[in-house]
């Protein structure tokens, strides 16, 4: 695991306009672009093809149109319209109806009401078609606003919607109690953002211990929890506690990122666990891609090898 300083470094360079331009030129070029391992493509046709390939392997899917922290209201409206169109395209394609999104992409930074209204529009389009919509959790600066938007829409009757909590944040145990009391679905992740010490655990062992503790709570009290991890120790803990608490294998799922540990995805599915693959796509893929490099050293090696092959 890359240390906190390295993670912060990758997050910093993800904001470089020059590097983004350079990566955009080479990262998604053809089928051999170095980012294609982790990003399904820039267009909806590409992600639908990728989703079908994943479903052929017996795995579930969720699609994420990448983007975050828009700076102008028209951008938020365009992103919302893109999601409305994606909903229609998914229905027409006949693939599983499951999407993930970020509220900052829908205008949360500009005005919480704007983010709320735009997400409501997406849910109004998606809900009649049986979609499940997951609200991704961003940095700790967004946690309160994200949970407030989520709870508001839940109280309005939108029940095919879930949220994400991060074991790295010290507050997540209390947030988990809040969400499980509602009966809502949680995706548990470790967290990919550099956070201050007073808000987040800094050592890997602390983040892992919190993940295991939250896993236990979700298996005891949660509603169809999702454990998003590629860490064999975290997966083993979920399997152990599920067996101990008598939780059926179809009462929770594992989630993994597109292009990462495909061997493990297949092995878990063969054991009878449900595995969902998070498939990102879109032109704004660079910040997401850099966070993936900041999470796992093997990802950096993969990109370097791909670049050397390109040369």
Average pLDDT on 282-288 reads 79
Of 64, 109, 136, 208, the active-site residue reads 136
Q: Is there a catalytic annotation at residue 276?
A: no
DSSP 179: H
Rounded-to-integer distance, Cα 198 and Cα 183, Å:
29
What pLDDT, on a 0 to 100 scale, did the predictor assign at position 19? 55
User: Per-residue confidence at 182, pLDDT binned at 50, 70, 90?
Assistant: very high
For domain 72-249+261-272, give the CATH number: 3.20.20.220
Element (H, E) at 307: helix 297-310
CA separation (Å) from 215 to 3, 255, 274? 24, 13, 16
Q: What does the domain layout of the chain look like in residue ranges?
A: 72-249+261-272
Q: Which of 20, 28, 71, 72 is nearest to 50 (CA)?
A: 28
The fraction of the chain above a pLDDT of 90, given in percent, is 74
Mean pLDDT score of the chain: 88
Q: Is there a catalytic annotation at residue 136?
A: yes
Rounded-to-integer distance, Cα 248 and Cα 74, Å:
46
Encode pLDDT of 29-74 as tens digits.
556 566 777 899 889 999 999 999 999 999 999 999 998 789 999 9
What pLDDT, on a 0 to 100 scale, did the predictor assign at position 297? 55
User: Per-residue confidence at 307, pLDDT binned at 50, 70, 90?
Assistant: very low
Of 187, 261, 276, 292, the active-site residue reads 187
Encode pLDDT of 2-31 as tens digits.
455 555 555 554 455 545 555 555 555 556
Element (H, E) at 226: strand 226-228
Encode pLDDT of 211-248 as tens digits.
999 999 999 999 999 999 999 999 999 999 999 999 99
Side-chain-side CA neighbours of residue 268 (13 Å) = 29
Rounded-to-integer distance, Cα 178 and Cα 186, Å:
11
- Greater pLDDT, 149 or 27: 149
User: Per-residue confidence at 173, pLDDT binned at 50, 70, 90?
Assistant: very high
């Amino acid at each position: 695991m890359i240390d906190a300083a390295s993670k912060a470094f990758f997050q910093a360079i993800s904001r470089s306009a020059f590097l983004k331009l350079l990566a955009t030129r080479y990262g998604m070029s053809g089928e051999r672009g170095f980012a294609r391992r982790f990003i399904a493509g820039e267009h909806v046709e590409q992600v639908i093809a990728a989703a079908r390939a994943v479903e052929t392997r017996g795995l579930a899917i969720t699609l994420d149109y990448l983007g975050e922290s828009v700076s102008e209201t028209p951008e938020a409206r365009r992103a919302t319209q893109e999601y409305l169109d994606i909903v229609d395209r998914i229905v027409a394609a006949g693939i599983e109806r499951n999407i993930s999104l970020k509220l900052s992409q829908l205008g949360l930074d500009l005005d919480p009401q704007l983010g709320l209204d735009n997400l409501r529009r997406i849910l109004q389009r998606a809900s009649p078609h049986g979609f499940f919509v997951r609200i991704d959790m961003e940095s700790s600066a967004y946690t309160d606003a994200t949970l407030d938007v989520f709870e508001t829409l839940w109280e309005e009757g939108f029940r095919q919607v879930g949220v994400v909590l991060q074991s790295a944040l010290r507050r997540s145990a209390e947030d988990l109690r809040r969400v499980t009391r509602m009966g809502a679905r949680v995706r548990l992740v470790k967290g990919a953002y550099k956070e201050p010490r007073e808000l987040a655990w800094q050592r890997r062992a602390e983040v892992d211990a919190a993940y295991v503790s939250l896993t236990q709570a979700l298996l005891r009290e949660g509603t169809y929890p999702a454990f998003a991890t590629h860490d064999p120790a975290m997966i083993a803990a979920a399997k152990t506690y599920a067996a101990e608490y008598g939780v059926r294998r179809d009462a929770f799922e594992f989630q993994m990122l597109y292009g990462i540990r495909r061997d493990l995805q297949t092995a878990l599915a063969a054991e009878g666990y449900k595995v969902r693959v998070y498939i990102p796509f879109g032109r704004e893929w660079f910040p997401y891609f850099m966070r993936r490099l900041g999470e796992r050293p093997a990802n950096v090696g993969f990109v370097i090898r791909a670049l050397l092959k390109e040369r």
